[in-house]
A = this chain, B = another copy of it.
Amino acid sequence: MQSSVLETICQRRSVREFTAEPVASELLQTIITAGVWAPSGLNNQPWRFKVVQAVTEKAALALQTQYGHIILAAPVLIAVYLDQESMYDPVKDQQAAGACIQNMLLAIHALDLGGVWLGQILKNKAAVNTILGIDNRFDLMAIIAIGHPKHRDQHSTRKPIDHFLL
């Protein structure tokens, strides 16, 4: 138990290339459930999710970011929002969104899928809401692109622990 959680945390990588195989809806349900079980301040659970699979929507979203090729290649996207009517503190709610997204990324890895956290598209978040028909009460936090990985050759690095200790 211990090692597999810690291994997942350290072995998860951003996956940006996917096969054409769709992602089963039960797996999407599991991924979102993992997100929902993140902690939030006062347990306010401010996160909301829009699952995007339609080719027309993906094509329109792809034009809103320099990472459009990843959006087009992913069989499914999950747009993660904060519901401003459920928020109580911007900093803490944005942290909660990060915790939620991380749970989802760990679940994606644990399910043998691959995913990547896309943030650059936030610069066009109003356009994203228009494309998806979502009210601006909902504040876009990220889009997660998800699919079956084309390969597992991803690498990543971190600075040594001592760099981070105050």
Enumerate chain A interface residues (CB-CB to B < 8 A). 1-2, 4-10, 12, 14, 29-30, 32-34, 36-39, 41, 43, 45, 47-51, 79, 81, 89, 91-92, 94-103, 105-107, 109-112, 117, 119, 122, 132, 134, 138, 141-142, 156-159, 161, 164-166
Contact = CB atoms under 8 A, between A and B. Distances in A.
A50 B106 CA distance: 26
Contacts of A97: 95, 98
Contacts of A166: 48-50, 79, 81, 132, 134, 138
16 contacts: A1-B7, A1-B8, A4-B5, A5-B110, A9-B34, A9-B106, A32-B161, A39-B117, A45-B158, A79-B166, A89-B119, A94-B94, A95-B141, A96-B98, A98-B99, A99-B101
Given A5-B4, A36-B161, A111-B2, A95 B92 contact: no
A6 B29 contact: no
A107 B9 contact: yes
